[in-house]
């Protein structure tokens, strides 16, 4: 997430991370460097970049996942 913000040209001034006992987490960033006025455009750019990174991660993950064929049939390692 911090890399994503950097790629958008944002500088992180503060970062806070919170977690709850039921498994939720919240990351809060105070950033500078956003040239446009509206936060709506910032949210759209962050989500667009996030989806792009997520799609790349899924492609890399599926391409490099180990095959289970060698583990079937009692083959030992």
pLDDT per residue as tens digits for the range 14-62: 999 999 999 999 999 999 998 877 889 999 999 999 898 877 777 665 5
Placement of tokens 């790629």 in the chain:
7
Sequence-distant (6+) residues with CB within 8 A of 31 are 5, 10, 11, 12, 13
* In the chain, where the domains are located: 2-61
User: Are 13 and 30 within 8 A, CB to CB?
Assistant: yes
Rounded to two decimals, what is the model's pTM? 0.61
53-73 confidence digits (pLDDT tens)? 877 777 665 555 554 444 444
31 half-sphere exposure, CB direction, 13 A CA radius = 22
Query: Is 53 in contact with 60 (CB distance < 8 Å)?
Result: no
Which H helix or E strand runs over 7?
helix 2-7
């Amino acid at each position: 997430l911090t890399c994503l913000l950097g790629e958008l040209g944002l500088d992180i001034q503060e970062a806070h991370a919170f977690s709850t006992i039921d498994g939720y987490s919240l990351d809060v960033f105070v950033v500078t460097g956003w040239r446009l006025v509206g936060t709506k455009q910032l949210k759209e750019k962050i989500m667009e970049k996030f989806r792009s990174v997520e799609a790349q991660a899924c492609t890399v993950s599926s391409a490099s996942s180990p095959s289970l064929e060698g583990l079937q049939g009692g083959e030992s390692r």
